Amino acid sequence: MTDKTHPETAPQIQRNNPLHGVTLEVIVTALAAHYGWPELSERIPVRCFTHDPSIASSLKFLRRTPWARDKVEALYQVMLREI
């Protein structure tokens, strides 16, 4: 039996992770609102942003494609620093 109040078994708080608790849907929605689909497709040229873009199609693609998701998360962090 583990004690959840014991420091070694307690969940680690991710203070330095700006993506902690932020869903992929929130990220894509914020990027599309901030940059718009045309600029977003220039910054990250993937089909879900270049051809008939939508939040739903982007989420489906990004959930299956780790390298693209990494790029989206990195751009989101850049956007956060800009604003």
**pLDDT, tens only, 66-78:** 999 999 999 999 9
Query: Does the global pTM surpass 0.85?
Result: no
Q: Taking a C-beta distance cutoff of 8 angstroms, is the pair 80, 73 a contact? A: no
Q: How many domains does the chain have?
A: 1
**Percent of the chain with pLDDT strictly greater than 90:** 71
Domain of residue 65, residue span:
24-82
Asked if the structure places residue 14 within a domain, the reply is: no
CA proximity to 53, closest of 80, 77, 44: 44
CATH number of the domain bearing residue 73: 1.10.720.30
d(CA 39, CA 11): 38
CA–CA gap between residue 29 and residue 59 (Å, rounded): 10
